Amino acid sequence: MERHSLLSLIENTDPGIVLFDDRFTVRYINRAFLMIFAGVTSDDVFSGDIMRFHDEAGRERIRQMFRLMKDSSRQVPFSFKRIGDGREDRYLFLKLIPLLDRDMVDAMNCMLVYDITPFVADRERTFIKIPVSAGREIHLLDPDEVLFLRADNIYSRVHTPEGEYFCDFSLGFVEERLPPDRFYRIHRSYIANLARVRKVVRGSSGYTLLMQGSDHPLPVSRARAPELFSRLGLR
């Protein structure tokens, strides 16, 4: 699938639609929304705020996601989210559209929800595409394109020869869903694509990796160095 095919998917798919206020109280939904969230009834949706469907950790992540999507400094108010119990992950593309009242004040929020699971992961939960964003663009990256990933708080950054992308998922979450024969966690903050390693550099403070198409040195933790060298065929 081409990188921008997610745009084609959005153009040709009826999204789930939900209108809610800043207190996360739902006012309106469409039938496609209920189809995406098949285990939730309309009574469940309208009998309180949507936060009650999540544990406290999930609530805080949604609040952070909401703040990020409402942030005017972010050019495109969209996000990716996983739902499920870990055994049957589903991935959603979410686009937020703030709605104004007659006084031109934020009064309501419209969320468009697209289920992109078939385009992102296989049945073994391995990523076949990594959902990322850069400025006004959204991409589904082929894992082979990736040079390395680095942690960014609860999110991550994905680096390719073409540039850096923002990923809504944590480094640990992505690590569990990357092909393990190609990617290795070389440091608590970095995952490297072993097929893209150009050079191993030994310095006074330890080892670093240089990747093809990048001058950014990647630190290698002492604890992970032996396994790394073994997987690279250096020992």
Average pLDDT, integer, range 115-134: 91
Residues 128, 146: Cα–Cα separation, whole Å: 12
CATH number, domain 5-120, options 3.30.450.20, 3.30.450.70, 3.40.50.2000, 3.90.1640.30: 3.30.450.20
φ, ψ at 224 (rounded to 5°)? -100, -10
Residue 76 has pLDDT above 70, yes or no: no
Q: Which CATH superfamily is domain 142-235 in?
A: LytTr DNA-binding domain (2.40.50.1020)
Q: 193 and 128 in contact (C-beta within 8 Å)?
A: no
Residue 193 has pLDDT above 90, yes or no: yes
DSSP string, 128-154: SSEEEEETTEEEEE-GGG--EEEEETT
Residues 209, 230: Cα–Cα separation, whole Å: 14
Chain segment 95-123, per-residue pLDDT in tens: 888 888 888 887 788 989 999 998 899 98
Q: Count other Cβ atoms within 10 Å, centred on residue 66.
A: 18
Average pLDDT, whole number, for the chain? 86
Residue 2 has pLDDT above 50, yes or no: no
pLDDT at residue 178 in the model: 97
pLDDT at residue 58 in the model: 66
Pick 61 or 40 by higher pLDDT. Answer: 40
β-sheet with 106-115: strand ranges across = 26-29, 16-20, 106-115, 90-100, 78-83
pLDDT at residue 86 in the model: 60
SS3 assignment, position 127? strand
